[in-house]
Structure 1
Amino acid sequence: MTWHDVLVVVLIMAVAAGIIPVLAGLVQYVLVPVHAVRNHLGKAGPYLPRVVVVVPAWNEGAVLGASLERLMRLQYPPDRLRVYVVDDASTDDTPEVVLGKAEQYPGRIVHLRRAQGGQGKAHTLNHGIEQALADDWMQALLIMDADVIYRPDSLRRMTRHLADPEVGAVTAFIREGSGKPGTVSRFIGYEYVTAQAAARRAQNVLGAMACLAGGAQLHSRANLEAVGGRIDTSTLAEDTFTTFLTQLDERRVVFEPAAVVLAEEPDSVDALWKQRLRWARGNVQITRRFSDVWFRRPFSARGAGHRLSGLTFGAIWFSIYLLPVAMTAAALGLVLLYFVDREVARHTFEAFWWVAVITYVFITVCTLLLDRETARRSWLQGLLFPGIGSLVVMLAAWVPGLWEERVPDLLGIEVSSLSIEVMTLIFYSWSLIAMLGAWVIRAVERLPAGRWPSRVLLYVLGFGPMLCAITIDAYVKQWRGASAQWDKTVKTGRVVG
């Protein structure tokens, strides 16, 4: 084998690295239908434990009243539900809102005021959890966000899983519920179906859950005490940390898709970036903190009795965690391969994007069918999730010569060989171009009158590539040791339940 052949093989392997996350996503969706026959409902049963709801709140006056009112209207015995609102030294009318509701529902809503605020969500939660564990009344504890709206039957659908003593925690489906969602919110709504309604069904099947939704975490008292009676404060992903600890202690974490919780999500690129940067940095921290778990079963004593160390779950986790790396490797591999062997590069490009086309069609159709309510609101964002640019590249792989010959012939345009080369290199490197373009979208949005141009760019470059760009930003900030603070996402009360 010559050096030329070796180089070609290496570059093809680089491109193949980009296919792995695509296939991992496909595997998750193949598992979704299995959830109909392999789920936890067989071990669930009517169970209505005494539940304490802990609501962390810092300047949530605009949204807290509606959330508390809906909690009071849950289809759950009133004498078995108490709400502790932990006021993190708010400077708005949050105390007045809570005290007003506490007077309206005496004994059911409790206002807990922290004298010192600003330490982050985990510290605020721990204040409430400490109070809840101080007496024997509480049998289960629900952690939620101040802005979310629980549908009437959601809590009892979650508690039924705690009838099984092997279950330590249950989470719900967080659905974007803004009354008039904008472009970014609609993209998030579609993404939540993929990341929750689909992915967590698959994780139920695998028996390994990646994360309890931050706004919907139901813990049994036994589980809460077993994980230390408090939430971890050393990471930006306290919900994921607790999810892993629960499973490492050999208790199940279950996703209940029929329990729907509505939330208001960011509708600006900048707000989205700040939120997801926190989440992505948290995942970097979690990946390192649990380095002795990945792919170790059965060789790690710590891994006995859970499935976090399984090959499939690990592949799914790292496919998401390293997705930007894989996409960059694929793009650079194709570009370099173009200069080494153009014929091999063309076939590799077509094979790579053919896999992407099949996966895109399958996942998009399944997602839109999985949650019809979100599909009605976000069908366009679902179709354009990878970006118009990626769809153009998919067509280039699906119909060779389409953009270089067929379209120009149809329009009567002559395309030079240089233009074809430039077009080819753009196609080959598009995944990298789209990720880098996310910074441009954010910069444009910050300009005067930049909102609409930024939305056009978002449709062209894609929401998926933007999430990859945010993950890259998280890598860099974590490597540089940048300040890891909990940035609050501002909510305005747009949820309509």
Structure 2
Amino acid sequence: MRQTGAGLLLTSPTFGVLQALAVVEHELLLFAAFWFAVGAVDEMLVDGMWLWLRFSGWARTARLQADRTEELAGIAAVLVPAWRESAVIGAMVRHCLESWPQGGLRLYVGVYRNDEQTLAVLTALGCDPRLRVVLHDRDGPTTKADCLNRLYRAMCDDERRTGERARCLILHDAEDMVHPAALSLMDEAIGRADLVQLPVRAEPQGLSPWIAGHYCDEFAEAHAKDMVVRNWLGAGLPSAGVGCAFSRRAIDRILARRGGGDPFAAECLTEDYEAGLLVSETGGKALFLRVRDRQGALVATREFFPATLASSVRQKTRWLHGIAFQGWDRLGWSGKPCDLWMRVRDRRGPMVALVLTAAYSLVALWPVVRIAEAAGAIAPLPADPVVAKLLAINLLSFLWRLLLRFCFTTREFGWVEGLRSIFRFPVGNVIAIMAGRRALVAYLRVLLGGKVRWEHTIHLAHPAALCRLTGRASQPATARG
């Protein structure tokens, strides 16, 4: 037994446990505070560059003075892989063909031979000569990259038959809602770049304001600030897999680097990210194109992201596994200093998940240790001035992050979503923690001889279809900047 200052009797084991918890709390606090401070410095560097670009006018978003639906300089092959996408593929294809009337468009949609429902929807779409429905000769699901490679081979077959070579390849997903001006803008830009990436605009979903809504916040900030800075630095740009155009010369260089075969790595979970960086590694130029139309709407790819916790964690697990772990293995750390910095930022997800886990563990430990100290059960540890300074830095950084998140979300979606973005911040953290754990387990399983698993996201609604059902306009509300 031990007599404390408050007159409480504690057994020696109980006292030892409480004292150990106090030490664990201090070490976790030091660990989290240090790495949060490192992350704060990293983010402030990007923020400082963006602010300079913004106020100097370099990063100001251009605005179109007219609708852009002019004819293309060559054939643009749009590749759309589909697996069990019967709920959205019909609306996507119709909207794409209506929004892009150019004769140079070739829309290749890949469907698996054991996916009768998706095939039936595609068969019922009519006979637009610009549409190519490609039946995969394997049962699905394989990987998205494998389906893209099948579409690429179908495009090459068309080229041999017609004698016309595609000028660029454009990637899209089965749930995407394209902007009418996007095709002409990408076609024009591909003349001076080998990879052109348009912004992605995550659509708010009334039935999922927190899970689906946190994607609105993340993409609004990343594609208005991070990608702008990355583009200005001349670092390699990761392809988002949607709204991105690859020049044919870039694809040829990637094929040469791979020694022939297919342009996309079928075994890679984030083949779009890898292909984007390979453009720069093989000597190509990448361009992030941020433009608004005459009404002020962002020329971007609109889509719905996962609306449930389970589906969001699965999706971000795939992103973390592919970018952080496979990216390290497959692409390494070569490149210019700016490229190395950006690769560290790309692959920090598992480390961020670990630091967040430590921070949220402190939420549970802190009241236990404080109560024990107040009751006199344990003696408080000496104050650590280093931790105090780190906490002050982290507090200021956190408030700045919330302010930026609010500003970017408000600018794109209005002040209601902007306010929600503040309270959605912890939602993204919890998803990151869960996805980080699953990604690590998945990667270790592969190292031990397991197979890479492609966890496909099932889409239940399409923005264009929802607009027709609700009577909302097909374009987002006007935004500034």
Which bracket does the TM-score occupy, shorter chain normalised? 0.7 to 0.9
Are residues 116 and 348 of structure 1, via their aligned partners in 2, closer, same or farther at CA, if it must alter by over 3 Å? same
- AA in 1 matched with 2:419: L
Paired position in structure 1 for 2:150: 127
Paired position in structure 2 for 1:117: 139
Whole-Å separation in 2 of the counterparts to 1:14 and 1:84:
48
Taking every aligned residue pair, what percent have the same amino acid on both sides? 17
Indicate which of 125, 136, 141 corresponds to 1:101. Answer: 125
**1:478 and 2:446 correspond:** no
**1:27 and 2:45 correspond:** yes
Whole-Å separation in 2 of the counterparts to 1:129 and 1:484:
22
For residues 46-57 of structure 1, what are the structure 2 equivalents within 5 Å? 48-57=73-82
Are residues 487 and 332 of structure 1, via their aligned partners in 2, closer, same or farther at CA, if it must alter by over 3 Å? closer
Indicate which of 97, 107, 111 corresponds to 1:83. Answer: 107
**1:285 and 2:308 correspond:** no
**1:37 and 2:58 correspond:** yes
**1:175 and 2:201 correspond:** yes
What do residues 451-491 of structure 1 show as CA deviations (whole Å, max 9, x unaligned)?
Answer: xxxxxxxxxxx322322331232123212335421122111
Paired position in structure 1 for 2:254: 227
Indicate which of 54, 63, 76 corresponds to 2:88. Answer: 63
Whole-Å separation in 2 of the counterparts to 1:197 and 1:90:
40
Are residues 90 and 256 of structure 1, via their aligned partners in 2, closer, same or farther at CA, if it must alter by over 3 Å? farther
Whole-Å separation in 2 of the counterparts to 1:329 and 1:182:
28
**1:493 and 2:461 correspond:** yes
Whole-Å separation in 2 of the counterparts to 1:232 and 1:286:
12
For residues 341-360 of structure 1, what are the structure 2 equivalents within 5 Å? 341-344=382-385, 347-348=388-389, 350-360=391-401
Paired position in structure 2 for 1:212: 239
For residues 83-482 of structure 1, what are the structure 2 equivalents within 5 Å? 83-103=107-127, 105=128, 107-118=129-140, 119-134=142-157, 135=159, 136-164=164-192, 167-177=193-203, 180-183=206-209, 184-228=211-255, 229-258=262-291, 259-283=299-323, 284-293=325-334, 297=336, 307-309=338-340, 311=341, 313-327=342-356, 340-344=381-385, 347-348=388-389, 350-371=391-412, 374-376=413-415, 378-387=417-426, 462-481=427-446
- AA in 2 matched with 1:52: A
Name the SS of the counterpart of 2:180 in structure 1: coil
Q: For the Cα contact (< 8 Å) 2:122–2:133, is it kept in 1?
A: yes
- AA in 1 matched with 2:229: A
Which deviates further from its counterpart, 149-158 or 375-384? 375-384
**1:16 and 2:34 correspond:** yes
Greater percentage in helix: 1
Alignment size in residue pairs: 394
- AA in 1 matched with 2:321: R
Aligned-residue offset at 1:315: 4.6
Name the SS of the counterpart of 2:91 in structure 1: helix
Whole-Å separation in 1 of the counterparts to 2:205 and 2:290:
22
What do residues 301-347 of structure 1 show as CA deviations (whole Å, max 9, x unaligned)?
Answer: xxxxxx523x4x24533444522234456788998999653253762
Whole-Å separation in 2 of the counterparts to 1:110 and 1:95:
12
Q: TM-score, normalised by structure 1?
A: 0.71
Whole-Å separation in 2 of the counterparts to 1:10 and 1:472:
18
Whole-Å separation in 2 of the counterparts to 1:264 and 1:193:
14
What do residues 80-105 of structure 1 show as CA deviations (whole Å, max 9, x unaligned)?
Answer: 111111112253432232223242x1
- AA in 2 matched with 1:192: F
- AA in 2 matched with 1:150: V
Q: For the Cα contact (< 8 Å) 2:33–2:394, is it kept in 1?
A: no
Whole-Å separation in 2 of the counterparts to 1:168 and 1:39:
23
Paired position in structure 2 for 1:405: none
Whole-Å separation in 1 of the counterparts to 2:243 and 2:179:
12
- AA in 2 matched with 1:246: V
Whole-Å separation in 2 of the counterparts to 1:14 and 1:379:
27
- AA in 2 matched with 1:153: A
After TM superposition, the runs of 4+ consecutive aligned structure 1 residues lying more than 6 A away are: 8-11, 329-339
Aligned-residue offset at 1:219: 0.8
Are residues 468 and 272 of structure 1, via their aligned partners in 2, closer, same or farther at CA, if it must alter by over 3 Å? same
Name the SS of the counterpart of 2:287 in structure 1: strand
Whole-Å separation in 2 of the counterparts to 1:210 and 1:194:
16
Whole-Å separation in 2 of the counterparts to 1:85 and 1:197:
30
Q: For the Cα contact (< 8 Å) 1:169–1:220, is it kept in 2?
A: yes
- AA in 2 matched with 1:341: P
Q: Which runs of 5+ in 1 are unaligned?
A: 1-7, 299-306, 388-461
Aligned-residue offset at 1:376: 4.9
